[in-house]
A and B are shown apart, each in its own frame.
Chain A
Amino acid sequence: MVANRTASWPHLGLRAAGSTVRESPLSLSTIDPPARQVAAPAAAPYDEMFDAAGATRPHYALLHGRIEELGPDALAERQRTLERSFLLQGITFTVYGGDSATERIIPTDLFPRIIPADEWARVEAGLTQRLRALNMFLADLYGSQRILSDGIIPRDLVLSAPSYRREMQHLFVPHQAYVNVCGSDLIRGPAGEFFVLEDNLRVPSGVSYMLANRDASRRTFPDVFRQVGVRPVERYPDLLLATLKSMVGDWRPQPQVVVLTPGVYNSAYYEHAYLARLMGVPLVEGRDLAVHDDLVYMRTTEGLRRVDVIYRRVDDDFIDPLSFRRDSSLGVAGLFNAYRSGKVVICNAPGTGVADDKAVYAYVPSIIRYYLGQDAILPTVQTYLCRNPSELDHVLANLDSLVVKAVGASGGYGMLVGPHASLAERSAFAEALKANPENYIAQPTIQLSTAPCLVEGAIEPRHVDLRPFILCGEEIVVTAGALTRVALRRGSLVVNSSQGGGSKDTWVLDDSTPAPGAPPP
């Protein structure tokens, strides 16, 4: 099959996505209201490169041309070069199985995904609005809780979430920037409109892949890169450093910033080291830090040195065995008390997870309206809260078309994709739902958009999402680029790297993009 496709390339190799999906046995529902869902015919997913008629979208024209020019052998060679360079740089995660641990690179696709300037402008405005509202929401939750007493969000839903940290109540957070680094997951619906699928407000990762992918795509398609006009992402590390420093008042003119990692065995360790290196700050583990009289120090070869800002890549639970999980050896005893007294800044603030809870997600449009008096620019996906009996009934009756997610879980675990699940899997999930309804939410199965990928020598559409990175200190900055995650298994909708996902670079075009259809030189 692979050889066959390769041989027929380029005339047939690059197909519009629609045809592929029609071949696939899956019936994917849309995000239409549930009543219509059953009857409605499955719409074709939006394809990033081809329009519905199968024609190349204008902003992809140059790239498409270049891909055809290069041909399969040259592309395969470039793919190999790319993978070698990732392995060499150590851009890997470790897979533990049996007695051995092997290091694998996150599968990386050669072809960049391209987003035109006008579409990005909307994404940027939407994300800025959303993060501003979510930070206000957090400040309120850990302050006077107006939104709860006004009955906008059920008190139980927020206060009973394990990610709600009452220790954070009434603490001062500069600029109300609880979330300093946010990585939201966006998807495109069938009509090409962007939805926010998830907010990651705790310790979002993936930004190192964005930077590494950019490095690779510049080398793979240098001419196209130059001609289409791509906005840079390379400033991310210094913007991050500036954001972190902005969290310290003037009383510490040269704040010492550190990155706190759980250690080399963490799957995102590469990223922690990468960011520390590019920011030029120490990468510390819990055992490198000590707290004395509410001041945080790191152990250096020349004695203890004061630490002012901790960009922590360790979950709330593990940062301080005195205040949080007592069996944690990843954190530092007394760290939270130092934070409480304002002697050190922890970024993101503890307790931000309550705002990216999958059940709170359903309320984000109300949150935006409540604090900003605006309608959400980026829509959210319709969400059924199984804690409400009527919604639970609906979910149980439509398990074959819904995606069910555990509220506390992340990374694609504890998730049922109804249309892809077996009868046995669905009935097992139904039992779990009935036993513990408040632990689950459900959403219509959304057809993620597709983008062309190089898969075993052939070019095929694969489903993708989009994870932009937003920084928030004194002000909010949306990085003009993103990590595009790819579901590498054909037809799969799960893009998480722990579940067979890969990634590709994302080119955000600047305003001076050449006119549509401009011929390749």
Chain B
Amino acid sequence: MLFDIRHVTEYAYDEPVRESVMELWMQPRSGQRHRLISFELDVDPPAQILSYADSFGNSVKHFDVPFPHRRLSITAHSVVEAHAPSPQPQALGMDEWAGLSSDQTKGDCWDFLRPHGFAAPTEALEAFCRERGVHELKSLDPLAAVRELNAVIYRGIGYQSGVTAADSPIDEALLAGRGVCQDFAHIMLAICRGWGVPARYVSGYLATRQDEGDRSDPLATHAWVEVFLPSTRWVGFDPTNNTAAGERHIPVAIGRDYSDVPPSRGVFKGDAESQLFVGVSVRPTSVAPEEPEFLKLGAPAIAAARRRATSHALMDQHYQQQQ
């Protein structure tokens, strides 16, 4: 199936800022099941777009705008061909656990076995696990355990945006009992890694189907989790929507947690409040990409960004939360 994806990000500043430097993790990954057909990036004010591959193999775009500006808008337009994954086996043998503790796996997946950033155990997480019987899941085989964990997180934490922010630790979502995809993913990563199951954060897009019970905001970027099992390799789970990652999950970047792969991040000089607007549309398409049509922006994702004074200029950085 072909997907036509448009992702608009706009920063608005109440005072002119200058020397904005931005990095973007917005270009979909090509892999076994996904093929990037086209990718266009528009930046306004115009800037030269440069790119590099980060240490996880993601394609990072970056640019800078030296002169004063009050708004900065970024439009990423991708067309991706996606294929459904082969169905997962219902269960694996219990000896799969032994395969996970092999030196080979530990070496290859070293990054994805250790706590990192927000994907780390906390007291609130431990309480959640006790309450929801998460520890008992280890009596299942790893695949079944992870699948069950996916459902436990889905049932245990409600979906609501605005409760947590892009830089919220998992405790905020755990204590509030509500959060967004980023929080679900971090919680799942922390538990899987605690079990010794390599797990990585996937930032991407979801062609939402609310008729099928998707909770995700269709106008935002998405995030889910992939776990590594020796006999299945990497398989994806989406705890936000209680589903395995399928054809509709279009990966953009993988990392240890959100902080490795924010859709955009940057700094600027100037003394200004900034607002961030994000809009995403993912549509199945059967034809070559059409002329872009007008896309409405959502509500501000960050009402008032943090401000911090430095000795010579004000620098600020801003992230968009994944929902």
Interface residues of A (CB under 8 A from B): 148-149, 155-156, 159-160, 166-167, 169-170, 287, 290-294, 321-322, 326-327, 329, 333-334, 337, 340-341
**Beta-carbon contacts under 8 Å, B223-269 to A:** 265-267
Q: CA–CA, A329 to B48, complex, Å? A: 25
Residues facing A in B49-73 (CB within 8 A) are 50, 52, 54-55, 62-64, 66
Given A169-B55, A292-B64, A322:B23 Cβ within 8 A: yes
A-B contact pairs, 7 of them (CB 8 A): A293-B48, A293-B63, A326-B267, A326-B317, A329-B315, A341-B50, A341-B52
Is B107 a contact of A321 with CB atoms below 8 Å? no
Question: In whole angstroms, how far apart are the Cα atoms of A291 and B21 in the complex?
Answer: 9
How far apart are the CA atoms of A337 and B266 in the complex, in Å?
A: 13
B110 → chain A, closest Cβ, in Å? 6
Minimum CB–CB distance for B135 against chain A, Å? 25
Judge whether B55 and A329 touch: CB under 8 Å: no
On whether the beta carbons of A329 and B66 are closer than 8 Å, the reply is no
Q: Tell me the smallest distance from the CB of B18 to a CB of chain A, in Å.
A: 10
| The one of B48, B55, B66 that contacts A167, using a Cβ cutoff of 8 Å | B55
Chain B: which residue is nearest A340 at the CB level? B52
* 5 tightest A-B CB contacts, nearest first: A329-B310, A333-B21, A166-B55, A169-B55, A334-B21
Query: By the criterion CB–CB under 8 Å, are B107 and A149 in contact?
Result: yes
Check if B19 is an interface residue, CB within 8 A of chain A: yes
Which residues of the other chain, B, contact A294 by a CB distance below 8 angstroms? 50
Instruction: Give the docked Cα–Cα distance between A340 and B53 (Å).
Output: 10
Contacts of B107 in A (CB 8 A): 148-149, 155
Query: When each residue 133-162 of chain B gets 1 if its CB lies under 8 Å from chain A and 0 otherwise, what string results?
Result: 000000000000000000000000000000
B268: nearest residue on chain A (CB-CB)? A333
Which residues of chain B are near A292, meaning CB under 8 Å?
64, 66
Interchain CB contact under 8 A, B21 and A322: yes
Q: Could you tell me the distance between the alpha carbons of A294 and B267 in the complex, rounded to whole angstroms?
A: 15
In the complex formed, the residue of A with least CB distance to B108 is A149
Q: Is B222 interfacial (CB-CB < 8 Å)?
A: no
Q: How far is the CB of B56 from chain A (nearest CB, A)?
A: 9
Measured between beta carbons, the chain A residues less than 8 angstroms from B312 are 287, 329
Bound form: Cα–Cα A277–B265 in Å = 38
Q: Which residues of B contact A160 (CB under 8 A)?
A: 114
In the assembled complex, the Cα of A156 lies from the Cα of B63 at a distance in Å of 35
Complex contacts, A333 vs chain B, CB 8 Å: 19, 21, 64, 267, 315
Chain A residue numbers with a CB within 8 Å of B33 are none
Closest A residue by C-beta to B50: A294
Is B86 an interface position by the 8 A CB rule?
no
Distance of A337 Cα from B66 Cα, bound (Å): 16
Residues of A within 8 A of B114 (CB): 160
**With the chains together, A337 CA to B53 CA distance in Å?**
11
Contact partners of A329 in chain B: CB under 8 A: 310-312, 315
A170 surroundings in chain B (CB, below 8 A): 55
Q: Tell whether B83 is near chain A: CB-to-CB under 8 Å.
A: no
Residue from A149, A159, A170, A334 with most neighbouring chain B CB atoms (10 Å)? A334
A322 to chain B, nearest CB (A): 6
Instruction: Point out the residues of chain A lying under 8 angstroms from B21, CB to CB.
Output: 291, 322, 333-334
- B260-318 contacts to A, CB under 8 A, are 265-267, 308, 310-313, 315, 317
* A157 smallest CB distance to B (angstroms): 12
CA distance A340 to B111 in the complex (A): 22
Are the CB atoms of A290 and B315 closer together than 8 Å?
no
Q: Does the CB pair A337–B50 fall under 8 Å?
A: yes
CB distance from B236 to the nearest CB of A (A): 23
Asked if A293 and B267 sit within 8 Å, CB to CB, the answer is no
CB distance from A448 to the nearest CB of B (A): 39
Interface flags, B93-134, vs A, CB<8A=1, else 0: 000000000000011001100100000000000000000000
Beta-carbon contact of A322 and B52 below 8 Å: no
Closest Cβ neighbor of B62 among chain A residues: A337
CA distance A148 to B114 in the complex (A): 17
Decide if B52 touches A291 in the complex (CB within 8 Å). Answer: no
Known: A291-B21, A333-B21, A337-B50. A321 touches B66 (CB 8 A): no
Q: For the complex, what is the distance from the CA of A159 to the CA of B315, rounded to whole Å?
A: 31
**Residues on the A chain within 8 Å of B310, using CB:** 329
* Cβ–Cβ < 8 Å partners of B110 in chain A: 155-156, 159
Cross-chain contact B267 with A322 (CB below 8 angstroms): yes
B167 to chain A, nearest CB (A): 11
Would you call B50 and A321 a contact (CB within 8 A)?
Answer: no
Complex Cα–Cα for A160 and B114 (A):
9
> Which residues in B have their C-beta under 8 angstroms from that of A293?
48, 50, 63-64
Query: Could you tell me the distance between the alpha carbons of A71 and B52 in the complex, rounded to whole angstroms?
Result: 67
A159-B110, A166-B55, A341-B52 as given contacts; A290 in contact with B19, CB under 8 Å: yes
CB distance from B318 to the nearest CB of A (A): 11
Which chain A residue lies CB-closest to B53? A170
In the complex, which residues of chain A have a beta carbon less than 8 angstroms from the beta carbon of B111? 159, 166
Contacts A166-B55, A293-B64 known; 12 new A-B pairs at CB < 8 A: A155-B106, A166-B111, A170-B55, A290-B19, A293-B63, A321-B267, A322-B23, A322-B266, A329-B311, A329-B315, A333-B21, A341-B50
How far apart sit A339 and B21, CA to CA, in the bound complex (Å)? 15
Instruction: Report B262 CB to chain A, min CB distance, Å.
Output: 12
Residues on the B chain within 8 Å of A341, using CB: 50, 52
Per-position binary interface string of chain B over residues 32-55, scored 1 when its CB falls under 8 Å from any chain A CB and 0 otherwise: 000000000000000010101011
Residues of the B chain whose Cβ atoms lie less than 8 Å from the Cβ of A327: 308
Return B206 CB to nearest CB of chain A, in Å: 28
A334 contacts across to B, CB distance below 8 A? 21, 62, 64
Residues of B within 8 A of A321 (CB): 267, 315, 317
Cβ-defined contact, B267 with A291, below 8 A: no
Q: A148 vs B66: C-alpha distance in the bound complex, in angstroms? A: 43
Residues of A with C-beta under 8 A to B23: 322, 337
State the Cβ distance, A340 to closest chain B Cβ, in Å.
6
For residue A326, which residues in chain B have a CB less than 8 angstroms away from its CB? 267, 317
A151 to chain B, nearest CB (A): 8
- Scoring B residues 172 to 196 as 1 if CB is less than 8 Å from chain A, else 0, what string do you get? 0000000000000000000000000
A333 to B265, CA, bound (A): 12
Task: State the CA gap A6–B310 with chains docked (Å).
Answer: 54
Nearest CB in chain A: distance from B114 CB, A? 7
Cα distance, A341 to B48, chains bound together (Å): 14
Taken together as a complex, chains A and B put the C-alpha atoms of A156 and B113 apart, in Å, by 11
Q: How far is the CB of B104 from chain A (nearest CB, A)?
A: 10
Residue of A nearest to B260 (CB): A166
Write out the residue numbers on chain A whose beta carbons fall within 8 Å of the beta carbon of B19: 290, 333
Give A420 Cβ to nearest chain B Cβ, in Å: 37
Residues of A within 8 A of B313 (CB): 287
Complex: A327 Cα to B308 Cα, angstroms = 9
A443 to chain B, nearest CB (A): 28
Q: Which residue of chain B has the shortest Cβ distance to A148 in the bound complex?
A: B107
A residues within 8 A CB of B308?
Answer: 327
* B312 nearest CB neighbor, chain A only: A287
Please report the C-alpha to C-alpha distance between residue A421 and residue B66 in the assembled complex, in whole angstroms.
56
Question: A148 vs B106: C-alpha distance in the bound complex, in angstroms?
Answer: 12
Bound-state Cα–Cα, A170 to B107, Å = 18
Q: What residue in chain A is nearest B266 (Cβ atoms)? A: A322
Docked-complex contact A337 and B48, CB < 8 angstroms:
no
Complex Cα distance, B238 from A426, in Å, reads 51
**What is the bound-complex CA distance between A343 and B49, given in angstroms?**
16
